[in-house]
Structure 1
Amino acid sequence: MKKAVVITGASSGIGAATAIHFGKQGYFVYLMGRNKDRLAEVAVQCRSGASLMSCDLTDLAALNKRIAEITSTTIHKVEVLVNNAGIFDVHSTEQGSDELWQKEFEVNLMSAVRLTRAFFPYFKQHGGGSIVNVSSSLGLKPTAATSAYSAMKAAMINLTQSNSLEGGAFNIRVNCVAPGIVDTPIHQFHSLEEEKRNAAIAQMNPMQPLGRIGTAEEIAKAIYFLGSNDHSSWTTGAVLAVDGGITNT
């Protein structure tokens, strides 16, 4: 069977870059996300083939259907699961409604919980596997007005470490990448007109000891490193900050 990777939030940003990078390394890519048109645009850039698994990750019935489709195939063997899907809201403590917290909880944390829970028995059956969770530098060092997002990303780190302890005996590795500020559509500045966007980025660049914000491709390479047995076969429970050094400031 051909090796495969499952990537959530694959329609843009870090997810799309990760899908393209895994495709370059010979992986068939299962692209999970809500926007089928954008997933199709990513699919054509995946050199080793891709399948569109469009669904809302907060719709449990739809998600379970897609998981069943992936795990029942005899053509591809899933070796890596990348839990990347996420949303980002900036709000004060007073603005943090129950609805906002619940939405952050469902997308940023429970999607990873459900997919991990589903793929643990699959990986056990196939002799092992690798899970990479995408957290954030805010999960390590939160800032004001990011309480819900930062809390979910901190929980993602704890989830990673707990799952790694359970998975070790079955050759299931679970690791985590914590990106800093990356130029992707999750941030509002990304969609500004060019002049305003460049001005916003210029203001953020000095916040990093390395003097610039990151790219989706840089995070994708870190995810591939942790996901691939060729590069990190003795690594589990790790939290890799790829953030230009911002968590050290």
Structure 2
Amino acid sequence: MIENIQSKANEVMAARTADVAYDTIDKIDRNLFERNCDAQAWAGFTQVKNALCSTAADRIEQANNLLKTLVDIYEVYFDLYVFDTEGVIVAAGVHRELIGKNMSDRGWFQEVKAANAISVTDLYFSSVENRHTVAYSCPIRSDAGQIVGYFSSRFNWEYIYDILDSARIGNKGDIAIINKDGYVIACPSRKGILVDNLSSLKASQCAMSGETYGYTIEKDARGNTKIYGYARTRGYNAYKGKNWSAIVSETI
């Protein structure tokens, strides 16, 4: 009788951990979908295009001021940039001392130039921001449709922690977001980012292999039996996601 009660309690806990994982990754997808839309919309703003197409003496000042205003209003970005087709910074919202610097060797620039469409990086540590960020980059097109440069944003990753911190996990529970290779890209402790790897967990393996949602019961590195709920990104609308997963654990 006691075993049946415990088994039922474990089933309830398992379902809850999977639900929390699903809800968390869904909230992240919806947030990042908006960041995806921002970059594409702002690349079409007149001041952004004029920074590359106009000959007006104040074109760069106008672009800088617009970018700074967007940073201040939206609050979720470290900075916004305009680049020419060679990767040279033409305008910036915050780091204006970088104007004129060539960034063509950066992976995100090479990716967007090859794609000629919206391109999103995985989480990485920015030497410019001195913090972890995600870059959203897309082409800037002239009125005639020709690519004249690129717009790129630096998302403030701290806003993802707001989602994690509000996740409904138990006192003995934990939650982490992992990338496609199993590396932790977010967790409540903010430690081990892009260092700790959870790919040895069966739950992580299930999510990384494409399973959308579920749970496992397995032992952690210390030998404790835990329930692991997992959910893989599904993206949201036009944003396809980055093959990330949420992993929620509860100690039995």
TM-score, L = length of structure 1 = 0.23
Higher helix share: 1
**Larger Rg over CA atoms:** 2
Higher strand share: 2
Indicate the structure whose relative CO is greater, using CA pairs within 8 Å and at least 6 residues apart: 2
